[in-house]
Structure 1
Amino acid sequence: MAFTPALIVVDMQNDFCVELKNAPLFVSGALDTLPVINKLLASDKFVFKVATKDWHPQSHVSFASNHSGESPFTSFVTIKNLVANKPEETMEQRLWPDHCVQKTKGAELVEGLDVSKVDLIVEKGQDERVEMYSAVSDSFGNQTHGKGGVSHDLAQLLKDKDVTHVYTVGIAGDYCLNYTALDSAKSGFTTYVIEEAQRCVDPGAWAAVCEGFKTGKVKLIAEDSEEVEKVL
């Protein structure tokens, strides 16, 4: 069986990883994942190493500050699939504090991440009208490369490099890592999530996320698993 692995490091950005007053979406324990992630980045077994970034305009629909009277974390709004010109398609969007705004310090990849080993940085969530947790498609499943939503067509780039297996790590396990891994599997890649190399916004949600991995054919593996040893 062919084995051509790639690594996707999801959203290791200051606004998620550094506990500062101006990082309102800090994910507890995020920096604890760096040793595992950097060990993977140092490996020459991966044919392609990608880092992703939330790269939101200040006007992004997911920011509570853009909705009068609404609060981050607790409020939800209904959004329409305007990207695909299908306003009849709607979904409930959880609202967040402003985060990873384009060209701000909070949107930068965290100090300590070995960016020198990264082949490509994918900037996602650029369309103000829709959420984009996954680095592959937005929350409605729209493929928006070339339409302003995301900087690269990640699934196609992986296919162009004949990738068969995708290893995913990063932040947050219950949101952007979760949906990136699920979309990777949908795109036809054998997809792994390394449990020790992720942290969640809501740690209590991890069990449900893992059940979703089973349904979505994403394989949850440990740092000391045979699958990880194979790429080190």
Structure 2
Amino acid sequence: MSRTLPPLTPHDALLVIDMQNDFVSPAGALSVRGGEEIIPGINALAARFPHVILTQDWHPRGHISFASTHGLQPFTDTVQAPYGTQTLWPDHCIQNTSGAALHSALDIPNTELILRKGFRKDIDSYSAFLENDRTTPTGLAGYLRERGLTRLFFCGLAYDFCVGFSAIDAVQHGFTAIVLQDLARAVALPTTVETTNDRFAALNIPRIHASHLAL
């Protein structure tokens, strides 16, 4: 999208997804390439938003999504969970560890809410709205509705998982979703970026650059 969007209003919120050490840092357990380079842009944009919400993966040890829990290999192996096929990951964002902490370069003092997800041992959680069983809510939708926040902008990590699932669920919960593509980075497993883009297109979710916002 090349046109400039309408100016921000008090009903707009920026959702900064999972900017944690294990994802952002090159030495992180589940490092996403380019994660560190989007921090300055996120900080600058967040300072100009009327409302900012952060999310944080918060897994217990032995989480269902960890390859080590099953004695299998991360990224390539999967298991069948009660809610469907579960991609397996390296152990990451374990509760109360440095890997789960928000990256120290993230500077968003106007954050209004930090939403933790993925803390149930037997359910993974990509979306900020629903866990991967697609029925267990995080409570975010109710929080947004009570505060009258209706247009949501998404950035952070990772584009093809937690950012993507969150934006899609936002639309399915009745919100307007816009993805800031230049302020997100992807894990980029085979077909995950293409699948995310196709789902965005099917739901008419715009993918824009932060420079397209009228601030």
TM-score normalised according to structure 1 size = 0.84
Does the Cα contact within 8 Å between 1:6 and 1:167 map onto a contact in 2?
yes
Q: Distance in 1 between matches of 2:181 and 2:115?
A: 22
Match of residue 128, structure 1, among 112, 121, 134: 121
Shift of the alpha carbon at 1:59?
Answer: 1.8
Q: Does 1:168 pair with 2:150?
A: no
- For residues 35 and 29 of structure 1, the distance between their equivalents in structure 2, rounded to whole angstroms, comes to 12
- Cα distance, 1:203 vs. partner? 7.1
- After TM superposition, which residue ranges in structure 1, 4 or more long, deviate above 3 angstroms? none
Alignment of 1:40 onto 2:45: yes
1:140 aligns with 2:125: no
Q: 1:173-223: per-residue Cα shift (whole Å, max 9, x none)? A: 010011011111111111100010000011763233111111233221122
Question: 1:71 pairs with 64, 69, 73, which one?
Answer: 73
SS in 2 for 1:193: strand
Conserved? CA contact 1:29–1:199, under 8 Å: yes
Q: Compared with structure 1, are the counterparts of its residues 186 and 144 closer, same or farther at alpha carbon in structure 2 (3 Å cutoff)?
A: closer
Counterpart Cα distance in 2 of 1:53 and 1:16: 11
Runs (5+) with no aligned partner, structure 2: 1-5
Deviation at 1:19, TM superposition (A): 1.2
Q: Which amino acid is the alignment partner of residue 64 of structure 1?
A: A
1:144 Cα deviation (Å)? Answer: 3.8
TM-score (norm 2): 0.91
- Which residue type is aligned with residue 23 of structure 2? F
Distance 2:194 2:167 in 1: 16
CA distance in 2, matches of 1:134, 1:77: 19
C-alpha distance in structure 1 between counterparts of 2:98 and 2:86, whole Å: 25
- Aligned partner of 1:87 in structure 2 is none
* Identity over aligned pairs, percent: 35
Question: What aligned pairs does 1:8-157 form with structure 2 within 5 A after superposition?
Answer: 8-20=15-27, 23-43=28-48, 45-46=49-50, 48-68=51-71, 70-80=72-82, 90-145=83-138, 153-157=139-143
Structure-2 change in CA distance of 1:203 and 1:37 (3 Å) = farther
How many residue pairs get matched? Answer: 207
User: What residue in structure 1 maps to residue 3 of structure 2?
Assistant: none
Question: Which runs of no fewer than 5 residues in structure 1 stay unpaired?
Answer: 81-89, 146-152
1:208 is matched with: 195
CA distance in 1, matches of 2:110, 2:22: 22
